[in-house]
Amino acid sequence: MSKSKLSDVVVDEIREHIYIREVYGKTLVELGREYPELVVLDADLTVSTKTSLFGKEFPERFFTMGVSEQDMMATAAGFALSGKIPFASTFAVFATGRAWEHIRQSIAFPKLNVKIVATHAGVTVGEDGATHQALEDIALMRVLPNMTVIVPADAVETEKVIRTIVKHQGPTYVRLARAKFPTIFKKNYEFEIGKAKVLREGKHVAIFAIGIMVYEALEASKILEKEGISAFVVNVSTIKPIDVETIVECARIAGAVVTAEDHNIIGGLGGAVAEVLSEHYPTPMRRIGMRDRFGTSGDGLQLLEYFGLKARNIVQAVHELLEFNSAKKSVSFK
Amino acid sequence: MFKRTRDVEVLKEIARQVRIDLLKALHHAKSGHTGGSLSSVEILVALYFAELRHDPKNPRWENRDRFVLSKGHGVPALYAVLAHAGYFPREELLTLRKPGSRLQGHPEYDLSIGIEATTGSLGHGLSAANGMALAAKLDKKDIRVYVLLSDGELQEGATWEAIMTASYRKLDNLCAIVDRNRFQNDGAMADIKDIEPLPDKWRAFGWEVEVLSDGHDFAGLLSAFDRARVTKGKPFVIIANTIKGKGISIFENQGKYHGVAPTDEELKLALRELGENI
């Protein structure tokens, strides 16, 4: 039985589940004290996105834009052109879908320092259903030149991400979700833009994950370990610029890759990793995620089950992949 | 040192030269928006030579007034005005629409040539101007923000989002100008999707409105800007009735010159009408 090494930034057991959007709101308040040039805009979802916390503390720097996402993005551009650091928040489906062309022309192209922090991405939105579950936001943002795209995996990383992007110059998209996320990181976890974090060293397969699926990937690696399969677990929280070096290195060692995301596998993490590997180190892979379909109403976390986005689905993909590889290369993993 | 003027005769002569330069640039580029550039000339000359507090030699001056060309397709006129004001050499106008040029087909944010915002996709500029006006108020700075919209652009829903934001936020440091030339890409606006009654719409949205029957008359433009400057508590819009293709007989009110550049023959005729010897 191979023994995989768990990074010391990962907690031994899950002790808490936290709304990462609440961490966003609280961190904004703290940053508001440090950065007088920080302004916050929101499109009528201030309580859900938690920007309302900033609004209570700094009403003069808080701009409710009403249900006007396009106006919000281009207004944020105007703030950035005047030296402010605007954070613009709403649900991911509206931020990236409704206002995409405003983001393209008025933010990404002129490289303006606008922070788009969208909440309620993915199927974990739950009962509101498919209209409100952004499953294409990563694709829409990462196709834009100059845009940095970040997906935090838990509360600890969310705080580090928000504290990092405020200092980072340029257009940035951060993808947050509605549901409570298990806290998987210890306080000593460090986030760096463009660096994927290897949370578990492995040999036989590399699992690349984002958001809540990082937790599922860690769970999958425990199951796999009992079966004698040693899996890398890598948190690819910066989808763009993507960490080519880490992805290729893990793929090279493992020779098999699984991606896991709460997003369409087209254009999301799965697409991004496939692009990297097919150019740099072609590796057999499987993609866990939404298989080119819309979501549905239901309990947010149960929808992960419903759509096959759980640890056991990752495990199953790993099995398929290793069988495929062993049939191909006659290599046994047991 | 750049000096502003309110001398109408001087402004008229600048407008004549700007028309010559923008037509030469469009002709050289062999493409671009002739009609909507010509209709904006007096508005832009009035702004840059009489109204805006700006310094072409110090385009990053923090306390400058801001101008956003929301109708980005009219940028040949703005480039010609900026060149005349001294932001960059007039010869550079012939690089219009060339790869790597600072004078791209639609304006790209570049303070080195005095371009304050990337525009060209309609329905963005007023929001960006609102952001600048809000930032100025937040900083308690005496900065005024001007934005030039096309009338066709008022068919964009996003423009009305921004119109609501400006009045709700009481942006009295903001002045919008509508270049009301009554034509859009496909033809006369009245035949496509009419936007009248336009002054009523702006008023209903909480703006102070001034309608200029002749948007090419400098005296009228300057007095409208004067009124805008002293209006408090709400944003100000000047609906300037203009003539698409203004100044060149063959282009005037001809919808087909919305998006094409003058041919050799048309340029010759145009320059002759503008009193320029070739």
Residue A89 sits in a domain of what CATH number? 3.40.50.970
Q: Are residues A9 and A42 in the same domain?
A: no
**Count of structural domains, chain A:** 2
The answer as to whether A61 is a domain residue is: yes
Q: Are residues A202 and A252 in the same domain?
A: yes
**pLDDT < 50 regions, chain A:** 1-2, 331, 334
Q: Are residues A218 and A84 in the same domain?
A: no
pLDDT for B1: 63
DSSP state, residue A91: B
Q: Are residues A70 and A121 in the same domain?
A: yes
Kindly calculate the radius of gyration of chain B based on its CA atoms and give it in whole angstroms. 17
The answer as to whether A334 is a domain residue is: no
Q: Is A69 a catalytic residue?
A: yes
Q: Are residues A62 and A156 in the same domain?
A: yes
Q: Are residues A287 and A161 in the same domain?
A: no
Which residue, of A129, A151, A182, is where some domain finishes? Answer: A182
pLDDT for B32: 96
The answer as to whether B46 is a domain residue is: yes
Across the interface, whether the CB atoms of B131 and A79 are under 8 A apart is answered yes
pLDDT for A1: 39
pLDDT for A327: 84
- Taking the Cβ of residue A61 and every Cβ of chain B, the question of whether any pair is shorter than 8 Å is answered with yes
pLDDT for A236: 98
Which residue, of A163, A182, A201, is where some domain finishes? Answer: A182
Across the interface, whether the CB atoms of A77 and B129 are under 8 A apart is answered no
Residue A225 sits in a domain of what CATH number? 3.40.50.920
The answer as to whether B213 is a domain residue is: yes
Q: Are residues A26 and A158 in the same domain?
A: yes
What is the DSSP track for chain B? Answer: -------HHHHHHHHHHHHHHHHHHHHHHT-S-SHHHHTTHHHHHHIIIII----TT-TT-TT--EEEESSGGGHHHHHHHHHHHTSS-GGGGGGTT-TT-SS-SS---BGGGTB-S---STT-HHHHHHHHHHHHHHTT----EEEEEESGGGGSHHHHHHHHHHHHTT-TTEEEEEEE--EETTEEHHHH----SHHHHHHHTT-EEEEES-TT-HHHHHHHHHHHHH--SS-EEEEEE--TTTT-TTTTT-GGGSS----HHHHHHHHHHTT---
* Surface of B (51-80) touching A: CB under 8 A: 66
**Count of structural domains, chain B:** 1
Catalytic hit among A69, A157, A159, A261: A69
| Residue numbers of the domain that contains A23 | 17-182
Q: Are residues A164 and A74 in the same domain?
A: yes
β-strand partners of A148:
A172
Across the interface, whether the CB atoms of B135 and A70 are under 8 A apart is answered no
Residues of chain B in contact with residue A75, where contact means CB-CB under 8 angstroms, are: 127-128, 130-131, 134, 162, 165
Which residue, of A156, A182, A208, is where some domain finishes? Answer: A182
Q: Are residues A49 and A177 in the same domain?
A: yes
Q: Are residues A218 and A169 in the same domain?
A: no
The answer as to whether A324 is a domain residue is: yes
**pLDDT < 50 regions, chain B:** none
Q: Are residues A229 and A172 in the same domain?
A: no
The answer as to whether A170 is a domain residue is: yes
Residue B243 sits in a domain of what CATH number? 3.40.50.970
Distance from CA of B268 to the nearest CA of A (A): 36
Cβ proximity of B15 and B42 under 8 Å: yes
Q: Are residues A10 and A37 in the same domain?
A: no
The answer as to whether B278 is a domain residue is: no
- Taking the Cβ of residue B113 and every Cβ of chain A, the question of whether any pair is shorter than 8 Å is answered with no
| Residue numbers of the domain that contains B249 | 8-273
The answer as to whether B153 is a domain residue is: yes
